[in-house]
Amino acid sequence: MSDIIRHETGKRMSPAVIHNGVIYLAGQVGEPTGDATSQTHEILAKIERLLALSGSDKTCILRAEIWLADMSDFDKKNAVWDAWVAPGHAPARATGESKLATPDYLVEIIITAAQK
């Protein structure tokens, strides 16, 4: 059995877990004081950092699961996302509406990626 590597493990969760060359990121959120645009920018920066820590980058993202507190923020989130995704490397993606951990969180993104 392959080793399981966990980064920055806390009592409740690990932000990144690697097994058999696949990186699983926990749901990432931005500062709850911002709007959907600023939260998405912060989330994507966190994702880039965790992928780098795990030996990967955004060109290796396999799947993105995006949760919005309100689908009316879909276009704001997409404007940031579309500018960030590496050309030719768009992952499989789903976006849905859901209540998030607190009403101040507007966007949460979960990523699965391959190691380089």
For 77-94, letters b (16+ CB in 10 Å) and e give beebbeeebeeeeebeee
Residue range(s) defining the domain that contains residue 108: 4-114
What confidence score (pLDDT) does residue 1 get?
A: 58
Q: Is the model's pLDDT at 7 over the cut of 90?
A: yes
Q: What's the pLDDT tens digit per position in 10-38?
A: 999 999 999 999 999 999 999 999 999 99
Judged by DSSP in three states, 58 sits in helix
Nearest in space to 23 (alpha carbons), one of 65, 51, 43, 59: 51
Q: What's the pLDDT tens digit per position in 43-63?
A: 999 999 999 999 999 999 999
d(CA 82, CA 91): 11
Q: Is the model's pLDDT at 74 over the cut of 90?
A: yes
Q: Is the model's pLDDT at 86 over the cut of 90?
A: yes
The domain total for the chain is: 1
31 dihedral zone (left: phi>0; alpha: psi -120 to 50; beta): beta
Averaged pLDDT for residues 86-90:
97
Q: 46 versus 2: which is more confidently predicted?
A: 46
What confidence score (pLDDT) does residue 48 get?
A: 98
Mean pLDDT over all residues of the chain? Answer: 97
CATH number at residue 49: 3.30.1330.40
Contact (CB, 8 A) for 46 and 26: no
What confidence score (pLDDT) does residue 2 get?
A: 73
